[in-house]
Structure 1
Amino acid sequence: MPKIVDHDQRRKTIGATAMKVIAERGLEATKLVDIARLAGVTTGAVTHYFSDKDAILMAALEMAYDTMFANMERVKKGDNYSFLDIISKALPTTDESRVAMTVWLAFWSRSIAEPRVAEMQLEFHHRWQNIVSQELIRHYQRTKMPAPKDLESISQSITAQVNGLIIRGLVDKPDWPASRLHNCLKDYLEQIGIKGHQ
């Protein structure tokens, strides 16, 4: 009896493997043969699911964002989570999130020269920005505080702060461990009037 292949799972496995290779070697040094070897498949299997190297790299970027969004969704399943709880899921504080955010960062420089990559990055960034705005509104509702008129500006400043912390956590890991990233974000939110445990 022929082996039944779960094609959706195989595609996800290859995409997740591409994330790991990109995180370890960078975009330019990532090769299909390395992805195939680490995923335990042939290069033919990789090209069966992805038309070329660019297609698999873009799939890895999408998966990086999906990882962050999925981690946030898990937090949202709890009843008593804080704004800090959900926003901190974007920080590179676990092995999984470090890989995802390394891929995220690798693609930003490519976005400058490639409009298609820039468009995809901005699309995902707007989705992330919307989550921050929605969670800000939820925070003000829970604390029975009126939402400020400049909520969108506050949301943008928070995402900018988180982006900066992601970069510090990735390029200066010894000085910026998970605890420092978390505490720095908590302090920043408190400075702008958002208490971490509300």
Structure 2
Amino acid sequence: MPVAVDSGQRRTEVAAAAADLIIEGGLNAVTFRNLATRLGCSTTVISHFFRDKNEVLLETYRYNFMQAVALREQALAGLPADPVRAMEELLPVGPDQRRHWIIWLCFWTAALFEPGLSQEHQRGLVGTRERLRTHFIAAGMADPAADQRAEDICKALYGIAMQTVFDQSYWTAERQRAAFRRAAGGD
């Protein structure tokens, strides 16, 4: 009798393996063959759950995004009035955060040419700004000011993170945090 496999769990396993491959060699490293090797299965298993590489990449983008959202929500839960310090935890100050940013950077280039990835990326950007905006409004900030503060935090986060991915020796965790606080209006 065949073993029952949870489709969602298998897709998550493939996405996690694809994320590892992206870290090691970029988007081109994600092939059904490489995924099968990484997971110790046949390419048929991968193709049972995914039609093509683009579908794997989209699932991997979502997987990476959901991990970052969980990190963001955990950080925001601890600071009800000012999420700037909480959002610092999304900067590439540690290995997990750096991993997220490297994967995103790979996807951002692909999103310029792949409509599905572009839409997913846009949803993520809007979602982050909206989550911050909602947080500020709940803390009593007026709507226009909340919009601007959310935008400022996002600009600072993305800009500093991109520089750090390419120049980690200069952008120490301390330097990232200090620059982020200044740019986002936290200190």
Total equivalences in the alignment: 187
| CA positional deviation for 1:57 | 0.7
What does 1:84-95 correspond to in 2, within 5 Å? 84-95=84-95
Contact 1:18–1:35 under 8 Å retained in 2: yes
CA separation of 1:52/1:184 partners in 2, compared to 1, >3 Å: closer, same or farther? same
**SS of corresponding position for 1:113:** coil
Tell me the residue number matched to 1:158. 153
Inter-partner Cα distance in structure 2 for 1:164 and 1:34: 32
| CA positional deviation for 1:76 | 4.0
Inter-partner Cα distance in structure 2 for 1:161 and 1:56: 30
- TM-score, normalised by the number of residues in structure 2: 0.86
| CA positional deviation for 1:108 | 1.5
Is 1:183 the counterpart of 2:178 in the alignment? yes
Contact 1:64–1:101 under 8 Å retained in 2: no
Supply the RMSD in Å over aligned alpha carbons.
2.4
Inter-partner Cα distance in structure 2 for 1:27 and 1:163: 20
| CA positional deviation for 1:82 | 4.3
Contact 2:15–2:63 under 8 Å retained in 1: yes
Q: Which moved more, 1:5-14 or 1:156-165?
A: 5-14
| CA positional deviation for 1:79 | 6.6
**SS of corresponding position for 1:93:** coil
Q: Structure 2: give runs of 5+ residues left out of the alignment.
A: none
| CA positional deviation for 1:149 | 3.4
Is 1:125 the counterpart of 2:125 in the alignment? yes
Higher relative CO (Cα under 8 Å, sequence separation at least 6) belongs to: 1
| CA positional deviation for 1:171 | 1.3
Structure 1 vs Structure 2: percent identity of aligned residues? 22
CA separation of 1:122/1:148 partners in 2, compared to 1, >3 Å: closer, same or farther? closer
**SS of corresponding position for 2:124:** helix
CA separation of 1:103/1:76 partners in 2, compared to 1, >3 Å: closer, same or farther? same
Q: Which moved more, 1:82-91 or 1:168-177?
A: 82-91
Letter in 2 for 1:181: Q
Tell me the residue number matched to 2:22. 22
Tell me the residue number matched to 2:34. 34
Inter-partner Cα distance in structure 2 for 1:166 and 1:106: 13
| CA positional deviation for 1:186 | 2.0
CA separation of 1:6/1:116 partners in 2, compared to 1, >3 Å: closer, same or farther? closer
Measured against aligned partners, the alpha-carbon deviations of 1:63-85 in whole angstroms (never above 9, x if no partner) come to 11111101122234447684123
CA separation of 1:13/1:178 partners in 2, compared to 1, >3 Å: closer, same or farther? farther
Tell me the residue number matched to 1:68. 68
Letter in 2 for 1:176: W
Deviant stretches of 4+, over 6 Å: none
Q: Structure 1: give runs of 5+ residues left out of the alignment.
A: none
| CA positional deviation for 1:26 | 1.1
